[in-house]
Amino acid sequence: MLLLRCPLPLLLLLLPLGSRPQKLPTRDEELFQMQIRDKAFFHDSSVIPDGAEISSYLFRDTPKRYFFVVEEDNTPLAVTVTPCDAPLEWKLSVQELPEEASGEGSGDPEPLEQQKQQITNEEGTELFSYKGNDVEYFVSSSSPSGLYQLDLLSTEKDTHFKVYATTTPESDQPYPELPYDPRIDVTSLGRTTVTLAWKPSPTASLLRQPIQYCIVINKEHNFKSLCAVEAKLSSDDAFMMAPKPGLDFSPFDFAHFGFPADNNSGKERGFLKSSKFGRQTSPKPRVDLHRVCIGNKNIFTVSDLKPDTQYYFDMFAVNTNTNMSTAYVGTFARTKEEAKQKTVELKDGKVTDVFIKRKGAKFLRFAPVSSHQKVTFSVHSCLDAVQIQVRRDGKLLLSQSVEGVRQFQLRGKAKAKYLIRLKGSKKGASMLKILATTRPNKQLFPSLPEDTRIKAFDKLRTCSSVTVAWLGTQERNKFCIYKREVDDNYNEEQKKREQNQCLGPDTRKKSEKVLCKYFHSQNIQKAVTTETIKGLQPGKSYLLDVYVIGHGGHSVKYQSKLVKTRKFC
């Protein structure tokens, strides 16, 4: 098998050359390694090399096509596409090679234009397509021989992307493997510091390959790939070497990150002395995004942060042999307020994001400005369960454990003040959203039934479909159902390690969407809906998720349901 390493015109010329049957050359490993070290060899080439990641650029609404050839049937194949700073549409297809290329022709070459038309104008068989900004891949243990085409398009803006393809996916393994729990834990939270911990990559701990970890910090959002980070940073020199042992992190010149300059900080830390990181001016505006590579340790403290500020943290495992990376599940945390601000003030009708460190607690205060008969507290716990206590003027009104979404309606009182205490989980850090309001119609969270489970009907299972039902409410809401195939050993413990429950359907792959519909019933006893999900594979397990989207656009996920189709029908 071969992934060609030559421009397309040369590919077209190779096919008719010679008076005797031709066969495309096999991969010469020594020559190949020499060629991939020469980055200019593949610059603007339309041919994908075997076992090397290429970087390229797309202009908006201008498609780009790449080629590679598989010489033999039943060849393993893996193709990975990494969008950088914009979503991509891409499609992988295959068509049969011209007869001359198979070595069975008469020896008389066809005209070049005729072969070119034969190769490039045929539609081919589509193998896979995707639209989005996730790192997505196509994997096949047995691929047919033929000419493969990879078509890419960006409809949003000009963008960078990366492509990796290999015919030896089992032995190559260039991307570091994630641990069974790929989340980043916030183990300590202060006013100016955040300590992060994560489980090591099995690529380092078991396979003994050289892995280093790179942390990315910013105030806007999490990133899905290191490529996206590099696109954001552009040519800015925010990539740094690991700090000296024992010093941990003063990661960059904070004068450019919204912090006051400290002339003594470089002297105290000792590793901001170089001119590269000690610049006082910059020729262009700097982005509030920085990364630092810290070697192979799996605990790290970010310091000199701003109090009462939310930061997003991403972790990437980088294989230093291949320079290819894999993203952990990112997290976010809000640094503590200044000592004098121990209580967070809730505003009527406004959702507030709250972060609580492991075994920690947060205090919030709600003081309605007008008289009220009732007050409603809506809590959406993103990860593990949290404990909530509500006191009105010192009197305990509520003490509950909250997992998922809960709404509590309490009797009001003129000029009352409410103190809310939130206690985090013993298992790890907690993230949640909370809304307090005295206006019953001011509900940004969608209304939910008491039971948010998805019911599966075992007797209605077939080899290609499952039938499920869930409860609704009297309020008309939009429901979207998604499916994802999982391994047979997928269990409840693995479900808990998924990304946080506050992430909505916009984070899901388009291919996982089943349908969306509006549903409600004035008779609460009849507020139930059913759906039959078709097109499934026999004997396969699927994880089903139902999202309810409220009028304010905030979505809440029902409890995930694991189902399995019948193996024999």
Q: What is the pLDDT of residues 210-234, one digit of tens each?
A: 899 999 999 989 998 888 888 888 7
DSSP E strand stretches across 225-373: 239-240, 289-293, 299-302, 310-319, 324-327, 331-334, 343-346, 352-356, 361-366
Residue 474: count of CB within 10 angstroms of its CB: 12
pLDDT score of 501: 72
- List own/partner pairs for 493-497 with CB under 8 A and 24 or more apart: 494/180, 495/543, 495/560, 495/562, 496/384, 497/180, 497/181, 497/182, 497/183
Residue pair 312/220 in contact (Cβ under 8 Å)? The answer is: yes
> What is the C-alpha separation between 310 and 305, in angstroms, rounded?
10
pLDDT class for 450, splitting at 50, 70, 90?
confident
Residue pair 124/94 in contact (Cβ under 8 Å)? The answer is: yes
Give the pair of three-digit tokens for residue 538: 């026999």
Q: How far apart are the first and last CA of the chain?
A: 39
3-state secondary structure of 68: strand
pLDDT score of 39: 42
pLDDT exceeds 50 at position 104: no
pLDDT score of 418: 93
pLDDT score of 351: 87
pTM for this one?
Answer: 0.44
Residue pair 352/346 in contact (Cβ under 8 Å)? The answer is: yes
pLDDT class for 102, splitting at 50, 70, 90?
very low
Cross-strand partners of 64: 152
Residue pair 1/71 in contact (Cβ under 8 Å)? The answer is: yes
pLDDT score of 274: 33
Task: Indicate the residue type of 29.
Answer: E
Q: What is the pLDDT of residues 3-58, one digit of tens each?
A: 443 444 444 433 333 333 333 334 454 544 444 444 444 444 588 888 888 888 88
Which structural domains are found in the chain, ordered by start? 52-96+124-172 (2.60.120.680), 174-238+287-338 (2.60.40.10), 344-437 (2.60.120.680), 454-564 (2.60.40.10)
**73-77, 375-379, 381-385, 515-519: least confident range:** 381-385
pLDDT score of 493: 67
Residue pair 213/292 in contact (Cβ under 8 Å)? The answer is: no
Place of tokens 């759906």: 531
Q: What is the pLDDT of residues 251-279, one digit of tens each?
A: 433 333 333 334 443 333 333 333 333 33
Give the pair of three-digit tokens for residue 328: 């952990």
Closest CA to 61 of 152, 184, 193, 149: 152
For the segment 171-193, the average pLDDT, to the nearest whole number, is 89
3-state secondary structure of 391: strand
pLDDT score of 460: 94
pLDDT exceeds 60 at position 198: yes
pLDDT class for 516, splitting at 50, 70, 90?
very high
Could you tell me what percent of the chain has a pLDDT over 90?
30
> What is the C-alpha separation between 283 and 244, in angstroms, rounded?
29
Residue pair 548/448 in contact (Cβ under 8 Å)? The answer is: yes
Give the pair of three-digit tokens for residue 106: 């008469």
Residue pair 501/430 in contact (Cβ under 8 Å)? The answer is: no
pLDDT exceeds 70 at position 89: yes
CA atoms within a 13 Å half-sphere pointing along the CA-CB vector of 333: 31
Give the pair of three-digit tokens for residue 457: 């009907």
Could you tell me what percent of the chain has a pLDDT over 70?
75
Q: What is the pLDDT of residues 313-332, one digit of tens each?
A: 999 999 988 888 999 999 99
pLDDT score of 23: 34
> What is the C-alpha separation between 316 and 214, in angstroms, rounded?
5
- List own/partner pairs for 565-568 with CB under 8 A and 24 or more apart: 565/461, 565/462, 565/463, 565/464, 565/465, 565/466, 565/536, 565/537, 565/538, 565/539, 565/540, 566/461, 566/462, 566/463, 566/538, 566/539, 567/463, 567/538, 567/539, 568/463, 568/538
pLDDT score of 363: 92
> Any alpha helices (H) in 102-245, and if so which ranges?
112-121, 169-172, 202-205, 226-233
Q: Average pLDDT, whole number, for the chain?
A: 77
> What is the C-alpha separation between 81 and 224, in angstroms, rounded?
13
> What is the C-alpha separation between 404 and 547, in angstroms, rounded?
12
pLDDT score of 311: 95
Question: What's the gap between Cα 146 and its chain centre?
Answer: 33
Q: What is the pLDDT of residues 236-248, one digit of tens each?
A: 443 434 444 444 4
**Beta strands 455-456 and 466-471: pairing type?**
antiparallel
pLDDT score of 361: 87
Instruction: Look up residue 111 and give its DSSP letter.
Output: P
Q: List CB contacts of 55: < 8 A, sequence separation 6 or more.
A: 160, 161, 162
Q: Name the helix (H) or strand (E) containing 33.
A: helix 29-37
pLDDT score of 340: 60
Question: What's the gap between Cα 214 and its chain centre?
Answer: 16
> What is the C-alpha separation between 429 and 184, in angstroms, rounded?
10
